């Protein structure tokens, strides 16, 4: 690999990491909801690990999971990624 190819791939990797970190910070609500849904989904789909079907933690996790999915849809719409409402 030549030096110019190495330097361009290194700069491209730095640009990609910068874009990823900006996306993480800009979309913090979506990220937080996703992490919460990961945990509550695990609890809801394996209730025997957390005290059975009627355990309070399992019941709350099911509630959070169902509401969290709706919140995720609303939060992701905030950024209007399709650009459909933007006037040119």
User: What is the per-residue pLDDT for 32?
Assistant: 83
CA distances from 30 to 10, 14, 63 (A): 29, 24, 18
Q: What's residue 46's pLDDT? A: 92
Give pLDDT tens digits along the chain (88 positions). 555 555 555 666 666 666 666 766 677 777 888 888 899 999 999 999 999 999 999 999 999 988 887 777 776 665 555 555 555 4
Domain map (residue ranges) of the chain: 14-77
Q: Say what the pLDDT of residue 33 is.
A: 81
Global pTM? 0.56
pLDDT of residue 48: 93
Angle between helical axes of 28-45 and 56-77 (0-180°, round to 10): 150
Q: What's residue 24's pLDDT?
A: 64
């Amino acid at each position: 690999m030549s030096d110019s190819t190495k330097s361009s791939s290194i700069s491209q990797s730095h640009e990609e990491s910068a874009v990823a970190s900006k996306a993480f910070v800009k979309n913090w609500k979506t990220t937080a909801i996703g992490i919460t849904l990961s945990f509550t989904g695990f609890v809801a789909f394996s209730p025997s690990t957390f005290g059975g079907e009627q355990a309070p933690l399992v019941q709350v996790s099911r509630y959070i999971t169902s509401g969290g999915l709706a919140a995720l849809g609303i939060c992701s719409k905030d950024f209007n990624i399709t650009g459909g409402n933007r006037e040119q």
